[in-house]
Amino acid sequence: MEQQTSKLVYGMIAGALIGAGVAALLSPKTGREMRASLVELAELVKEKGPVMNEKGHEVTEKGREVVEVVKESIGVAKEWKEQIQTATEEVKTELAEFKEHQDEDSSSDKSSNSGSTSATASSNSNTGSSTSTGGAKTGTTPPAGSNKSSNFSV
């Protein structure tokens, strides 16, 4: 990895020099001016080259640190994903069990309602027709859907 980075830095420097050379050759300067510019550029590269190389190594090192942090973050994200998937499956299972339990309760309520409804109806026909003072019925009709016999007054 370090060898690739070194090659990259050297390639960038070489590319910059080649680009500067081509730009110098294509510019409308005289030969004397061109040589002077190339000498200045060569001196600049000699001065700044080691600094640029050091900066390149610093950038490379920072890049490695960032890569490590990103890899760690990806690992944490994968762990969270697995935990979330497990929790989701548990919630789905519990929800299915809850629905199944509700369906069982609903069906048992319906079967117990059919037996108690006929008993309540016969009880209502006997007590509903009797009247107390003022001619009002003593039995009251339960609300629709209610199967509680405690709503009746006898």
How many domains would you assign to the chain? 1
Distance between CA 138 and CA 71 in Å, rounded?
A: 79
Whether 55 is covered by a domain: the verdict is: yes
Query: Cα-flanking dihedrals φ and ψ of residue 137, to 5°?
Result: -75, 145
Residue 140 is assigned to a structural domain of this protein: no
What are the structure tokens assigned to 36, written together?
Answer: 């002077």
Spell out the per-residue pLDDT of the chain, length 154, in tens.
Answer: 667 777 787 888 888 888 877 876 777 777 788 788 878 888 888 888 888 888 888 888 888 898 899 999 999 999 999 999 999 999 999 999 999 988 888 887 777 665 555 444 444 444 444 444 444 445 555 555 555 445 544 4
- Asked whether residue 37 is domain-assigned, the answer is yes
> Does residue 51 form part of some domain?
yes
Strand partners, 137: 131
Q: Is residue 100, in this structure, part of any structural domain at all?
A: no
* Structural domain harbouring 40: 1-71
CB atoms closer than 10 angstroms to residue 57? 14
103 part of a folded domain: no
User: Is this structure's pTM higher than 0.75?
Assistant: no
Residue 116 lies in a domain: no
The token pair at 144 is 């629709």
